[in-house]
Structure 1
Amino acid sequence: MVKIALGSLGDSFSVGSIKSYVSEFIATLVFVFAGVGSAIAYNKLTSDAALDPPGLVAVAVAHAFALFVGVSIAANISGGHLNPAVTLGLAIGGSITILTGLFYWIAQCLGSIVACLLLKFVTGGLSIPTHGVGDGVSAFAGLVTEIIITFGLVYTVYATAADPKKGSIGIIAPIAIGFIVGANILAAGPFSGGSMNPARSFGPAVASGDFSEIWIYWIGPLIGGALAGLVYGEVFIGSHAPVPTSDDYA
């Protein structure tokens, strides 16, 4: 049975936990800077704000590469979440406490905001692209799409990196996580924007001041992540040991 652990302030402010927050901040900053930067760069090179097929591929590949790197550099410190939906899914499955997970969210969102503000500065004030549903796509359809693709992402995280019944499969985990994000952007980019990550959407919204559809990119990914945690936790993990009261939440 899946068990959710609330946690304590002592554990959440331990040296190991603080190192995890810093790791999540840096890794999310690296990921968002490359991901959002790829969209800005493509728009500048083509003088076209529309996401055409080559642009979609370029952005998907950039996100896949950047997430692979981000997860790899943070995996041994914080677990390499880089995403509030991943953190929630792992909390549902008992891999991280709720309280520590909330501080992960803060670190991830701050990393995304700083990355977007840095992009705005280094590009001379170019506009920061935000996530939004495609033309002819309803908000509800976009929401459902984000639920589905985030489910796929968090399920992949569980299957490759967070299943306590198996040993580490090393470099395959961040590769698989990067690949599923890239594939989902190719599939869903023209429809929902292919976010799968509330922090990834929140940073550009803050930097641009456009929060018009941000709710889609919080509610959808969080539902998808929670469902993946429930399904994998109940069906494939089953029983598990409670979250240990240690400094390591990876």
Structure 2
Amino acid sequence: MAKIALGSRQEASQPDCVRAVLAELVCTFLFVFAGVGAAMATGTLNGGSNSIVALTAVAIAHALVVAVMISAGLATSGGHLNPAVTIGLLVGGHITVFRSILYWIAQLIGSSFACVLLKYLTGGLETPIHNLSNGVSSLQGLIMEIVLTFSLLFSVYATMVDPKKGKLDGLGPMLVGFVVGANILAGGPYSGASMNPARSFGPALASWDWSNHWIYWVGPLVGGALAGLVYENIFIIRTHEPLPRDDEAF
């Protein structure tokens, strides 16, 4: 069952919420700037972005910057960087609907600004969009994005949200970064392995190319929500100790 909390507009005026939203904007901007910048650089240096060298370089860049930016935003906003992560935590009751909307807006603004700036700094180079490879149907790409994002959110829950993560405590950002890198290697040649609507939105906006863009919203959001529901309701075990009686309180 989903554990959704609506929240209220009053959250927007709370200092911790303001800081969290700003952290999402800044961290998403830095993440997308490095990730998209790496994709643009490998395309330029290798004369194309389809080689295994380019794919590996992009995967490593994303793995590194995701791990660091999650760590940077963890104490302030949770380091989501991704509407799919936000919705995955929303269905588990870890963030309110109202704050989720603010996070989404911040993530999209951060991604858009990063891509527009990259286009300017590189003399007008196109920001490469996520799109399906030749021979990959819309359904195949959609399922690929659902599975890859499910993997990402399952890892987020297992390494950072689950109260019984044990020895993994503190390693979450790095391990999630590893999953992002591995998923790019696995799915990059087919769907682009977005796993993140904000990461896809910025390049599409800067290049004004919306080809198959809906896949990179529907797939990650469905995969993220499913992972949140599955992990929260099946794998997280919360024990509740009874409160002491008055004669035991001392």
- 1:30 matches 2:38: no
TM-score of the aligned structures, taking structure 1 as reference length: 0.92
Aligned counterpart, 1:70: 69
Equivalent position amino acid for 1:158 in 2: Y
Give the Å deviation of 1:21: 0.5
Equivalent position amino acid for 1:9 in 2: R
Report the more deviating stretch, 12-21 or 128-137: 12-21
- 1:116 matches 2:115: yes
CA contact (8 A) 2:159 2:165 kept: no
Aligned counterpart, 1:13: 13
The structure number with the bigger radius of gyration is 2
Change (3 A) 1:240 1:147: farther
CA contact (8 A) 1:161 1:168 kept: no
Aligned counterpart, 1:94: 93
Equivalent position amino acid for 2:40 in 1: I
Structure 2 CA distance, aligned partners of 1:226 and 1:98?
Answer: 13
- After superposition, residues 193-204 of structure 1 pair within 5 angstroms as 193-204=192-203
Aligned counterpart, 1:129: 128
Structure 2 CA distance, aligned partners of 1:47 and 1:187?
Answer: 22
- 1:58 matches 2:57: yes
Structure 2 CA distance, aligned partners of 1:168 and 1:102?
Answer: 33
Q: How many residues are paired up?
A: 240
Structure 1 CA distance, aligned partners of 2:153 and 2:26?
Answer: 21
Give the Å deviation of 1:132: 0.2
- After superposition, residues 203-218 of structure 1 pair within 5 angstroms as 203-218=202-217
Change (3 A) 1:6 1:156: same
Q: Which protein has greater RCO, CA pairs closer than 8 Å, 6+ apart?
A: 1
Deviations 1:186-215 (A, max 9, x none): 000001100000000000000000112110
Structure 1 CA distance, aligned partners of 2:115 and 2:173?
Answer: 23
Name the % identity: 53
Equivalent position amino acid for 2:29 in 1: L
CA contact (8 A) 1:2 1:238 kept: no
Aligned counterpart, 2:219: 220
Give the Å deviation of 1:223: 0.2
Structure 2 CA distance, aligned partners of 1:140 and 1:226?
Answer: 18
CA contact (8 A) 1:86 1:225 kept: yes
Give the Å deviation of 1:237: 2.3
Secondary structure in 2 aligned to 1:96? coil
Give the Å deviation of 1:171: 3.6
Aligned counterpart, 1:43: 43
Query: Structure 2 regions of 5+ residues with no counterpart?
Result: 241-250
Deviations 1:136-185 (A, max 9, x none): 10011000000000000001001111124556944410011100000000
Aligned counterpart, 1:174: 173
Secondary structure in 2 aligned to 1:10? helix
Structure 2 CA distance, aligned partners of 1:240 and 1:127?
Answer: 52
TM-score of the aligned structures, taking structure 2 as reference length: 0.92
CA contact (8 A) 2:158 2:165 kept: no
Structure 2 CA distance, aligned partners of 1:2 and 1:125?
Answer: 44
Aligned counterpart, 2:231: 232
Query: Structure 1 regions of 5+ residues with no counterpart?
Result: 242-250
Give the Å deviation of 1:239: 6.0
CA contact (8 A) 2:46 2:54 kept: no
Please tell me the root mean square deviation across aligned C-alpha atoms, in Å: 1.6
Structure 1 CA distance, aligned partners of 2:217 and 2:15?
Answer: 29
Give the Å deviation of 1:44: 1.3
CA contact (8 A) 1:2 1:239 kept: no
Deviations 1:94-113 (A, max 9, x none): 00001100110000011100
Equivalent position amino acid for 2:10 in 1: G
Give the Å deviation of 1:224: 0.1
Deviations 1:29-60 (A, max 9, x none): 11100100001111111222x41111110000
